[in-house]
């Protein structure tokens, strides 16, 4: 496992074997993301959440029957998770959504149950717990899931307490499919390390949630929305961005550890928002976001001519999640609902190797005298 494949500079850990994965491949130079054999540009706009689950679990997109079977099983998994609510203590009353999700998920017993596989059960539990936390945070009482619905439709219905449109459901699915897996990112690595010890799937996903909570990993979309609010009009963009950089702050949603060109996921989400706007349902922030992105690329190029800095996935995530009516506090838990598909598949892939991950360290402390 090459621990630091993401770092351009020397890590001191070269030569350690890279993990093999069939789940996704990130090409930072060319700006390409392949998810289980599919370009993200195509998959993100065409597949459903249930398709992505089946694809990552089995390696192939399901046919219509398979899609229905997955939808029904995930619906049952949400119903099973709802029945657990009385045993979660105050987990879903915690003020931070990621704390709530991590604590609630830790209560789930590993293993298959009631005819549902372990992976179905945990994936269904994550979306149900995230939606229930959002309801509680909004002062609404928990509401049972509708197992006949697709995950995205049920999630939006529960969170917003009203019927979502087909365009909104499609937009949320595009987001979840687009972020379902992304190479050996920090939370996926955390899940694989736990899997490699022979521990259980719930423990691996709790570790992954802990990693995703960190602001360097999953926390930028909220601040991107704050930035769009502060800029408020394209004519203010350049001045605002210059002032931000002048104050020593970074522009949120710009730059990436691996991509040296625009993050391909930004383009997929931008198209998904466009589709939503055409259906007449959106926050109207897309044109402002595009203007701010253009200005940010210019301002950053002037400051860092040798370091290409472009929009990353978080930039348009903010606009998309806002457009489908999710509150900012739910952005990171919503990311987890998408990424849990990848974590769970990585758990299986790592367990199948039967190998313990034991990264090397380089001792730089004092020598014994
Ligand atoms: N705004 C302003 N400057 C930025 C920047 C940003 N968003 N991203 C990178 N830079 C600058 C750094 O200040 C640094 O400049 P310096 O060499 O003069 O100090 C240079 O570009 C290289 O940055 P570095 O921190 O080495 O890059 P990284 O690969 O470690 O960082 C991120 C990647 C994503 C952490 C970084 O681009 C960032 O902080 N982006 C904003 C947060 C964000 O959108 N996160 C979501 C990521 S998906």
CA–centroid distance, 252 to ligand 1, in Å, is 9
Instruction: Select from 212, 219, 213 the least CA-distant residue to 313.
Output: 219
CB 254 within 8 A of CB 311: yes
pLDDT tens, 85-118? 999 999 999 999 999 999 999 999 999 999 999 9
314 noted as active-site residue:
yes
Q: Compute the average pLDDT of residues 188-211.
A: 97
| 264 φ, ψ (degrees, to nearest 5) | -60, -25
Q: Which residue intervals of the chain are DSSP H helices? A: 40-46, 49-58, 64-84, 97-105, 118-137, 151-160, 166-178, 186-196, 201-213, 221-231, 237-246, 264-278, 286-303, 313-323, 331-353
pLDDT tens, 318-334? 999 999 999 999 999 99
Instruction: Select from 278, 274, 263, 247 the least CA-distant residue to 315.
Output: 263
CA–centroid distance, 250 to ligand 1, in Å, is 7
pLDDT tens, 51-77? 999 999 999 999 999 999 999 999 999
Given 50, 182, 314, 346, the catalytic residue: 314
Write down the mean pLDDT value for the chain: 93
pLDDT-derived band at 363 (thresholds 50, 70, 90) equals very high
Helix (H, G, I), strand (E, B) or coil at 200: coil
Q: What's the predicted TM-score (pTM) here?
A: 0.93
pLDDT-derived band at 17 (thresholds 50, 70, 90) equals low
CB 348 within 8 A of CB 20: no
**How distant, in Å, are the alpha carbons of 1, 47, 257, 275, 314 from that of 199?**
19, 31, 30, 42, 32
Q: Is the pLDDT of residue 337 over 50?
A: yes
- In whole angstroms, what is the distance from residue 263 CA to residue 44 CA? 13
Tell me which residue has its CA closest to atom 18 in ligand 1.
Answer: 304
Q: What tokens appear for 206 in the block?
A: 């709790």
Q: Is the CB of 187 under 6 A from ligand 1?
A: no
182 noted as active-site residue:
no
- DSSP H or E segment with residue 33: strand 32-35
pLDDT tens, 136-188? 999 999 999 999 999 999 999 999 999 999 999 999 999 999 999 999 999 99
């Amino acid at each position: 496992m090459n621990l630091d494949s993401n770092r351009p500079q020397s890590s001191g850990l070269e030569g350690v074997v890279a993990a093999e994965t069939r789940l996704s491949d990130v090409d930072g130079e060319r700006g390409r993301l392949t998810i289980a054999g599919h370009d993200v540009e195509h998959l993100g706009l065409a597949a459903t959440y249930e398709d992505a689950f089946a694809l990552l679990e089995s390696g192939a997109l399901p046919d219509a029957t398979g899609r229905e079977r997955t939808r029904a099983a995930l619906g049952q998994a949400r119903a099973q998770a709802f029945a657990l609510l009385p045993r979660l203590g105050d987990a879903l009353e915690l003020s931070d959504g990621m704390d709530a999700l991590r604590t609630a998920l830790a209560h789930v017993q590993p293993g298959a149950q009631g005819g549902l596989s372990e992976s179905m059960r945990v994936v269904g539990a994550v979306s149900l717990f995230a939606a229930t936390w959002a309801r509680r945070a909004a002062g609404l009482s928990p509401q049972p899931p509708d197992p006949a619905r697709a995950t995205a439709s049920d999630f939006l219905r529960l969170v917003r307490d009203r019927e979502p449109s087909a365009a909104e459901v499609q937009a949320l699915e595009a987001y979840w499919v687009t972020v379902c897996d992304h190479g050996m990112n920090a939370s996926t690595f955390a899940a694989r390390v736990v899997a490699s010890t022979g521990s259980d799937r719930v423990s691996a996903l709790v570790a992954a949630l802990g990693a995703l909570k960190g602001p360097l990993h999953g926390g930028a979309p909220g601040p991107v929305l704050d930035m769009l609010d502060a800029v408020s009009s394209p004519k203010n963009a350049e001045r605002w961005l210059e002032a931000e950089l002048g104050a020593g702050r970074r522009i949120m949603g710009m730059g990436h550890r691996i991509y040296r060109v625009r993050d391909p996921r930004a383009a997929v989400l931008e198209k998904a928002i466009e589709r939503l706007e055409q259906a007449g349902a959106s926050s109207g922030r897309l044109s402002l976001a595009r203007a701010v992105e253009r200005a940010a690329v210019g301002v950053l190029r002037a400051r860092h001519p040798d370091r290409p800095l472009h929009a990353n996935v978080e930039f348009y995530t903010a606009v998309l999640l806002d457009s489908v009516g999710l509150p900012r506090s739910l952005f990171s838990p919503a990311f987890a609902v998408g990424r849990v598909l990848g974590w769970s598949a990585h758990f299986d892939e790592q367990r199948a190797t039967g190998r313990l991950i034991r990264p090397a360290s380089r001792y730089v402390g004092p020598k014994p005298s």
